[in-house]
Chains A and B, each alone.
Chain A
């Protein structure tokens, strides 16, 4: 059989044929592209107004320097302690939240009877739906005194370790308390991703491991955790982004210190958080300080954008079934 000349390929019209369809797809496309416009507009307008602050303070000084004062001449607006404080609180919050989130996911997916698992799932999802102002209210009104007492006990018992030392004998409004409040808020984020991965896990693999004489613990450590680790890391980063952007809940339980870095003394009442800074200074801010607050917004946006992009990439890789 001879292969004659290749037949000419028709151009298939995948375009809509009717006006109404054209309108339909054009509207959908416009809506899809609106998120370009939105993200571009956010960056453009924030940068536009933030520029004077970056210019007067210097980008590197603004991000890494210390000190925030509108009454000096020249005014000093340096974000360093706030940015570091955000990272510190988010990191400790994640460290506290991860064991809780993994435990409750493991409990729901593998241990609890179906009815209990359902209730626990709803409860954890509900926790995710509680507004942060309500968590802030709880944090200030109910939790802070309790957690301050925990802090005092930690300091008394382990004060010889530098991170638990406290020279001022005040335990309220410390990064430790802020981290605990943050942990309460991000447990459901990590738990929902972990739980989904656990429940999607191939039951056959687990049965196979049991048939090979695996115990609960060895299966958890050698089969379940390694398989789920990608998704857990992604969920942790997602939670980290959320924790860094959190505003009101931290605002009420943390004492902001603008001038110095509190590098590690997490029980002392001095810390930083970029989003809370905005809230704290916004009402009194004029011209340059306002511009500096917007610049802080830009930095916060960029940092969370980076953290979230990495997180979504990892989560998407760990959950291939989510892609169509």
Chain B
């Protein structure tokens, strides 16, 4: 029998794992015990949920967190435990609030949705009319038309501004960037007042759809130009120089090399810009009459949009009105969600990371 020097691995060959177990046990106790006490107090003593959360759950949780830190790491661990509890508590609070927003829009909105809600308009509908007739079709159409016009005007302007900021060496770029930041912080109601004071008070136009589109321009411009600027800046200067060294005029180097390389970033910029303005309410209330009928002419008559439709019924405040508002909010949130996901997808597909095979 030959003797081997190899020994079977002892069970405790990972001394650090012991600490891990202690931490694990401590975390479980810290999470479960306060929760159990809290639920018991909440149900048993019939306390208000929030009150119980703040006066029972959080203090107990903090105490247990401190204990867990001490148990796992000694005295230094106490503050760690407290930090963890506070962080988790606040993070959870944010996520719960958000979940509450999304969940209420989905559950309340779904109750109001029906096929005719998507295509009918608001004619003959009062605050108390039942949900079996009437819908937000005219508002969906209005949102598409008004944001569409704004997008068509703003995208070229914003991209050209981004080109100005990245491709030229003009001395005023710093000032322009500062002004764009100022515009990014422009309260939306002020944008509405601006168009109102410039074009409507003076009698040039009445409160029609295209005025709303104009009011949205200063809100959309900074979003698109900032994101587009960043996208253009990410294009390596070697590509630009490569094109210039081949004898390209600057405009061709831009359109044939720089712009295609920044395409996904520009698409992201546009989608974020649309998402920024599609939910705007205040400027639209000031610049376009909220119509009840379907109107596709942005130059005459009022026009409703999803946000102003919600505003209108929220203002009326009856039970069915609120239901209509929730329904429209769900539609609006779906639009925003699509734009949001689109922007994520577009910004995830960078040129060069995934070479696409071309078909013949």
**Is B181 part of the contact surface with A, judged by Cβ < 8 Å?**
yes
Q: Are B250 and A35 in contact (CB under 8 A)?
A: no
**Is A227 part of the contact surface with B, judged by Cβ < 8 Å?**
no
Q: Which 7 A-B pairs rank lowest in CB-CB distance, beginning with the nearest?
A: A131-B279, A245-B187, A32-B164, A31-B160, A308-B185, A103-B90, A24-B251
Q: Are B163 and A28 in contact (CB under 8 A)?
A: yes
**Is B310 part of the contact surface with A, judged by Cβ < 8 Å?**
yes
Q: Which of A111, A141, A146, A324 has the most CB of B within 10 A?
A: A141
Identify the A interface with B (CB < 8 A).
14, 16-18, 20-21, 23-25, 27-36, 38-39, 41-42, 45-46, 48-50, 99-104, 106-107, 111, 120, 122-127, 129-138, 140-143, 146, 149-150, 153, 184, 187, 191, 215-218, 220, 238, 241-242, 244-248, 252, 275, 278-279, 282, 290, 293-294, 297, 300-301, 304-305, 307-309, 311-312, 324
Considering the complex, which residues of chain B in the window 115-152 have a beta carbon less than 8 Å from any beta carbon of chain A?
none
Q: Are A21 and B282 in contact (CB under 8 A)?
A: no
* Set B80, B167, B179: member contacting A215, Cβ < 8 A: B80
Q: Are A32 and B193 in contact (CB under 8 A)?
A: no
* Set A14, A120, A247: member contacting B188, Cβ < 8 A: A247
**B261 → chain A, closest Cβ, in Å?**
17
**A224 → chain B, closest Cβ, in Å?**
11
* Set B176, B179, B185: member contacting A241, Cβ < 8 A: B185
A186 to B50, CA, bound (A): 22
Q: Are B286 and A99 in contact (CB under 8 A)?
A: no
Q: Are A215 and B186 in contact (CB under 8 A)?
A: no
A18 to B80, CA, bound (A): 65
Q: Are A31 and B249 in contact (CB under 8 A)?
A: no
Considering the complex, which residues of chain B in the window 170-197 have a beta carbon less than 8 Å from any beta carbon of chain A?
170, 172-173, 175-176, 178-191, 193-194, 196-197
* Set B82, B95, B250: member contacting A217, Cβ < 8 A: B82
**B52 → chain A, closest Cβ, in Å?**
11
A-B CB contact pairs (8 Å), 30 listed: A14-B169, A20-B251, A25-B250, A28-B160, A29-B170, A31-B164, A32-B161, A32-B165, A38-B179, A38-B183, A45-B194, A48-B197, A100-B94, A103-B87, A126-B340, A133-B310, A137-B314, A137-B325, A142-B101, A184-B101, A216-B80, A216-B83, A217-B80, A245-B187, A248-B282, A248-B311, A278-B193, A301-B187, A305-B182, A307-B185
A159 to B88, CA, bound (A): 29
* Set A123, A134, A290: member contacting B333, Cβ < 8 A: A134
Closest to A240 in B: B185
A16 to B97, CA, bound (A): 55
Considering the complex, which residues of chain B in the window 272-306 have a beta carbon less than 8 Å from any beta carbon of chain A?
275, 278-282, 285-286
**Interface-lining segment among B20-28, B56-64, B71-79:** B71-79
Closest to A150 in B: B50
**Is B51 part of the contact surface with A, judged by Cβ < 8 Å?**
yes
Q: Are B275 and A129 in contact (CB under 8 A)?
A: yes
